[in-house]
Chain A
Amino acid sequence: GAVVSQHPSWVICKSGTSVKIECRSLDFQATTMFWYRQFPKQSLMLMATSNEGSKATYEQGVEKDKFLINHASLTLSTLTVTSAHPEDSSFYICSARTGSLYEQYFGPGTRLTVT
């Protein structure tokens, strides 16, 4: 149980284009989904928290106009990186929690390379 999927698993795009990453909870309804970014050999950095049907809560320093988050249903959240630049190249990972527990289950991650 508690399986989270992400799509795509890796993507290469040109500078200035936008990329959408999907995160789905496959066997449970996620009360909250989270988006993280991780640079090589660094720890997880929380970007934003999203709840179904409401606006995402962004962490300090994260540009909400650049990283658009939509949480359309209890099983789907999307992250769109708009006007991507090479410095946005990173490993993007989503996670989800269910109910009142704090446990988060992570998706497999999406490796984004912007050329």
Chain B
Amino acid sequence: QKEVEQNSGPLSVPEGAIASLNCTYSDRGSQSFFWYRQYSGKSPELIMSIYSNGDKEDGRFTAQLNKASQYVSLLIRDSQPSDSATYLCASDRGSTLGRLYFGRGTQLTVWP
């Protein structure tokens, strides 16, 4: 069983729309959750971290966490073509080593 699963996509939205990316996790011991953005040919970039149930907003990005449902999501408001990338969901493995589980990523395309 994969520890972190994401919609494989690809997801395509028009410019200005809301893009919704979803992720579920299987390890109930996970406490920290992250969204990374990875442009083609580049390394991942941390865009959001969330630790508590509820919503966390940062600019156009909102992360949502529901530990009871083991569900994490990322909303991107007013999507821009520059948001076109692969979005990786990650959760901690609950160990002192600090390793993360990564999902396979969802490819997002924002068309003008």
* A binding-site residues for B, Cβ under 8 Å: 31-32, 34, 42-44, 46, 49, 57, 93, 97, 101-109
Contacts and interface: CB of A to CB of B under 8 A. Distances in A.
Nearest to A100: B98
Which 4 A-B residue pairs are closest in the complex by CB-CB distance?
A102-B32, A102-B92, A109-B43, A106-B43
Contacts of A106: 36, 43-46
Given A49-B97, A49-B98, A102-B100, 9 more contacts: A32-B97, A43-B102, A43-B105, A101-B32, A106-B43, A106-B44, A106-B45, A107-B43, A109-B43
7 contacts: A43-B88, A43-B105, A44-B44, A101-B32, A103-B32, A108-B42, A108-B43
Nearest to B94: A102
A89 to B, nearest CB: 15
Interface string B99-112: 11011110000000
Interface residues of B, number: 20
Nearest to B34: A103
Interface in B56-89: 88
Nearest to A92: B43
Contacts of B98: 31-32, 34, 49, 97, 102, 104
B99 A105 contact: no
Contacts of A43: 88, 102-105
Nearest to B93: A102
Contacts of B34: 102-104
Interface centre among B43, B92, B104 (most CB of A within 10 A): B43
Contacts of B102: 43-44, 46
A103 B103 contact: no
Nearest to A104: B100
A49 B93 CA distance: 13
Nearest to B97: A49
Nearest to A33: B98
Interface centre among B92, B99, B102 (most CB of A within 10 A): B99
